[in-house]
Structure formats: structure tokens, C-alpha cells
Amino acid sequence: NETLVEVRDLKVHFPITRGVLFDRVVGHVKAVDGVDLDIPRGRTYGLVGESGCGKSTLGRALLQLTPPTSGKVSFDGIDLTRMPPAKLRGMRRRMQMIFQDPMSSLDPRQNVESILTEGLQAHGIGDSRDERRRIISETLDAVGLPRWALSRYPHEFSGGQRQRIGIARALVLGPELIVADEPVSALDVSIQAQVVNLLDELQDNLGLTYLVIAHDLAVVRHISDVVGVMYLGALVEEAPSDRLYTEPLHPYTRALMSAVPVPDPEVEDRRERILLAGDLPSPANPPSGCRFHTRCPWAQPTRCAEERPALRQIGRSRVACHWAEQIASGELRPHSVDA
Ligand code: SF4
Ligand code: MG
């Protein structure tokens, strides 16, 4: 099976409640509002967007840690959204999550050995103590932690090492899919590359499939095969990584790219600077038509405010913009560009 994860028209809406008993539903936060995507086996899908765009909720809904409101998530051809809870628990070892801050997701009273043993026991992996020890030792080697780490506690490690413990905890179960939510954003820049390289190496050695969620475009660039950009609960663009970064097609992606600093200060930065007007609207009350129209420098009268653009294939990309071709050709110019 080429596609490991298939997401179709996925929606996650959270009720907004009022009243003394919080029993009056006055609206819904449409955190994820109709997302379609495929994650190929053995590849990395990078999911980017500003905080509040719904990317973390999508990651959690994909693993059924947050129940979707509607839509479908298939894993290896199996529909997770219709699966009874007991069966879903059995699937968990195949789909693991890595979090941004390992300090808050690791129990400070457990040493590394007991953190790793706990998962094995919960899933009935390893017949004997020796067998579990062997699996744990191999996992430590794989993430580059020394054996003496087993008897130590999370606070005794640096941030980068703690993230290695978080990765080991996921890895020890032998998963096929790992959802990594901002896996390096809490780390020093110098450590970030090491952890990203480790994830990449583990993928090569173990054939893992990743969904890597990040607000930082630079982080997912080198590790991702495909990148999806989210805005207000919807995917606005998806493209092979090399394509997205060199030829972004959606106005929102263009704006994000124009804000990424150029790595070499000696090289003159000739790129267009796109400044977005206004703040991110509330996902409880998203704009009509194209959700991006209130901030889009290319927005056209009536159609952009009235008709929601579908995600459609343009070359190797999928783009949700009525005017993507006209913008790419230069036929349509932005209303305001700080040149
Ligand atoms: Fe901008 Fe209109 Fe395209 Fe939306 S559909 S991104 S508002 S040009
Ligand atoms: Mg890779």
C-alpha cells in the first residue's frame, strides 16, 4: 500500500459553551474544517501554519486522540474513525506521537527504563524481562543515548537529550507512523538540526512515516517530502517540498515564504516582501468565501468573498485559490507590496 494515511473531508469542531452549566452551545470553533490529504508510506509530510490554524488538532485527530466531528481517517487501509475503542488501543503502537516539550510529557518520577518499559508492558511487547531489556537497549542505541541513561530521570538531561527520550518512548513500540508536533521548537537552534537529522536517519533505517507539524517553515523544509500549508482550519496549498519553497502558488504561502530570512546575508534578497493586513480571524467565525480574503493582497471583488475555493491540482501542487494561475503569471498584481 503506497498511501499509509488517508484523510478525507476531516472536520473537528469544538462547541463554544455558555451558561452556568456550560450547557448552552453558542457556536463552534472550526479548528479543522474539511481537510483532505494523503501521507505516502515511508515519507514525511510537513504541516505548517500559524498557531491556531488547526495543525495540532489535525495531528491529534489523525491519531484519534481528539475525536473528529466528521470525515474519515484511514491507516493502512483501515478506517480509524469507525473503530471501537478497544481495537483502536491495539492500533496505537503502530501510530505514535512526539511532543514539543518532552519535559511536560515525561513523568519526572520515572527513570528512563521505567518510561520505556511502561509502553512495552501496556502493549504486551516482549515476553520476558530480558527481551524487554534488549528492545530498550536497541532503542537507546537508535536514538543515540548511552546505556547509563536508563537509571536517570528526565530532569538530569539536556533539552535535546530529553527529546531523544521522547523519541525513544515512541520508537520502542515499533510504530509505522510518528506524528511529531513541533518536535524541535523548544530546543536551541544548535540542537534542532541534530534532532531533525536523527528523525531523518531513523526514517531511513526503519522505514518510518512522519507527519511533522511546525510553525517554522525552515524546520520542515529539509525533512519533508511533501508540505501542506494550513490557514484557519483548511489546507490552502500542498506541494512537493522543493516545489513549495521555490514556487509557492497560494498568496498565503507566498507571504509565509517572504518572511523567511535569507540564510546568507551576503546574498542580496530580491524576493518580494508580502505584508499581510490585519490579524488572523477567529476560527469560530471564519470569513466567508476564501477564508484568506480579509488579508490577501490579491483578493478580487465579490468572488473571493463569496465562493470558497476548492483545493485543485496545478502542476505538482494543490492550491485553494481562484486566481492562482493569474497571480503566478503576473497578470494579477498585489494591492500592496513593500518593495
Ligand atoms: Fe486571495 Fe482570492 Fe486567492 Fe483567496 S481566492 S487567496 S482571496 S486571490
Ligand atoms: Mg526523509
CA of 302 to the centre of ligand 1 (A): 11
Predicted pLDDT of residue 1: 60
Tell the residue number behind the cell numbers 497571480, with chain if given. Answer: 327
Residue 324 inside a domain? The answer is yes
The range of the structural domain enclosing residue 337 comes to 248-339
Dihedrals phi, psi of 127, to nearest 5 degrees: -80, -30
What whole-number distance in Å separates Cα of residue 243 and Cα of residue 246? 5
Q: Mean pLDDT, to the nearest integer, of 265-271? A: 62
Residue 307 inside a domain? The answer is yes
Q: Mean pLDDT, to the nearest integer, of 158-177? A: 95
Residue 316 inside a domain? The answer is yes
Residue 293 inside a domain? The answer is yes
What whole-number distance in Å separates Cα of residue 294 and Cα of residue 237? 18
Please tell me the total count of domains within the chain.
Answer: 1
Q: Mean pLDDT, to the nearest integer, of 305-321? A: 97
CA 191 to chain centroid, in Å, comes to 20
**pLDDT tens per residue, range 175-234:** 999 999 999 988 988 899 999 999 999 999 999 999 999 988 888 988 999 999 999 999
Choice from 290, 308, 325, 336 to test ligand 1 binding pocket (greatest atom count within 8 A of CB): 290
Q: Mean pLDDT, to the nearest integer, of 56-75? A: 96
Residue 317 inside a domain? The answer is yes
Ligand 1 in reach of 299 Cβ (< 6 A): yes
**pLDDT tens per residue, range 71-101:** 999 999 999 999 998 899 889 999 999 988 7
* Percent of residues, the chain, with pLDDT higher than 70: 95
Which residues share a beta bridge with 178?
96, 210
Integer-rounded Cα Rg, in Å, for the chain is 22
Are 95 and 39 in contact by the 8 Å Cβ rule? The answer is: no
Ligand 1 in reach of 154 Cβ (< 6 A): no
Predicted pLDDT of residue 293: 95
What whole-number distance in Å separates Cα of residue 86 and Cα of residue 33? 27
**Does the model's pTM come out above 0.90?**
yes
Tell the residue number behind the cell numbers 473503530, with chain if given. Answer: 83
Residue 305 inside a domain? The answer is yes
Residue 285 inside a domain? The answer is yes
Atom of ligand 1 nearest to the CA of 251: 6
ipTM for the assembly: 0.94
Choice from 276, 321, 325, 327 to test ligand 1 binding pocket (greatest atom count within 8 A of CB): 321
Instruction: Look at 268 and 230; give whichever has higher pLDDT.
Output: 230
* Percent of residues, the chain, with pLDDT higher than 90: 76
**pLDDT tens per residue, range 276-287:** 878 889 888 999
Tell the residue number behind the cell numbers 484511514, with chain if given. Answer: 74
Residue 68 inside a domain? The answer is no
